[in-house]
Amino acid sequence: MGSVRPAPWRRAAVVAALMLAAFTFNTTENLPVGLLSLMADDLRVSLTAVGTLVTGYGLAVAVGSLPLAHVTRSVPRRYLMSGLLAVLALASWLSALTAVSYGLLLAARVATALAQALFWAVMGPVAVGLFPPERRGRIIGLLSVGGSLATVAGVPAGTWLGGHSGWRVPFAVLGALAVVSLVTVAVLLPSSRPQESHAAYGAAPDRRRFAVVLTTTALSVTGAFTGFTYLVAFLDEVSGFGRDAVSAVLLAFGAAALAGVTAVGPLLDRYPRATLTVPVAGQTVALTGLYAGGGSQVATVVLLMLLGASVAPTFMATQSQVLLVAPGRTETALAANSAAFNVGVAAGALLGGVLLPWTGTRGTFLVGGLLTAVALLVLSWPAAVASRTTVDAPEPSAR
């Protein structure tokens, strides 16, 4: 299979544009959380209705990922990515209109979510295909940094801007950022057929390992969100943090997540198994540790930082693994992994809500830790039969 290799500066510019797009999509997805009260008051709807703008977004991503990836599998990536970024820009600006109603805002959110579902499935192969195969993990790591910055900088900055200028202004800014990515991709990304790229297919196809990775994604994300969904209540009821301290604790969590993906990304190519197993193990320790030691504020902050440094690299590592072991087209496999992630988010929030009256917020972290421990067992189960040359060993060309 051939591969189009533009000049180095063009490749770097495209990757930077995709990082910015990942940042913009992730910020757009979670921004209503920080603007909940402002949006509810202005739109004259309940807080629950505004919350639906977030949960409905995740559901749309989970449902739309696989069908959209299959339908668009033959569309040249330059045109497809340009179209997705155009949807992001237009939907963001529609959300910023003064006269926008709740129904129109919800429609804009659904359109953005469907664009994001396909973006996450296609982004990896597009970026990886511009570089030699041995740089696969490092490119995925860079893209993950862009997405993680949304938690650390995007949502807090958007919340601050919305509080000072009105909730519509951040959406207008996000639309402008989407245009920057759109123009860069439309001008610099080659328009070759997607199947011509080496990243269109798994480097070492393995159906069994692919199933293990998807199961690990679903279980670990369900475990994380069983407790994390109710983190603010945990910090208040169990750890005794005041309302003013919660933002600082969440910032520490986000900073640790960014540090985690930054540190793990360069190691994905050399140690594909370890860079997935270690974060899942770290998440298990963090969740169960919060159950046991959440009464100590110092221990809570340390364990939450461990959780942040584990959760973000886990999904990044599963994406990298999918590019390695995908049994067919990688965009379809990545869409399946993205769907597993979003199903895990919804399932974790639902399970935590069911458990809450019986176990309290503390118990949700214990159950989340146990689910993550099961993910760790699943991840290690095929170790004896998996091919060490394709999964365990460092790739010689990555040295």
pLDDT in tens, the chain (399 residues): 344 467 888 999 999 999 999 999 999 988 887 787 788 888 888 877 887 787 788 788 888 888 998 898 888 889 999 999 999 999 999 999 988 889 999 999 999 999 999 998 899 889 888 888 778 788 888 898 888 888 888 888 888 899 889 999 999 999 999 999 999 999 999 877 666 677 778 788 899 999 999 999 999 999 998 988 788 788 888 999 887 787 788 889 889 999 999 999 899 988 989 999 999 999 999 999 999 999 999 999 999 999 999 998 998 999 989 988 999 888 888 889 988 988 888 888 889 888 988 998 899 999 999 999 999 999 887 543 344 434 444 443 333
Long-range contacts of 374-380 (CB under 8 A, 24+ apart): 374/219, 374/223, 375/215, 375/216, 375/219, 375/220, 375/223, 375/280, 376/277, 376/280, 376/281, 376/284, 378/212, 378/215, 378/216, 378/219, 379/212, 379/216, 379/276, 379/277, 379/280, 380/277
- pLDDT for the residue numbered 5: 67
- Closest to 336 (Cα-Cα) out of 321, 352, 350: 321
Distance CA 261, CA 5 (A): 26
Q: What is the pTM of this model?
A: 0.80
CB 174 within 8 A of CB 48: no
With beta carbons less than 8 A apart as the criterion, state whether 313 and 275 touch.
yes
pLDDT of residue 307: 95
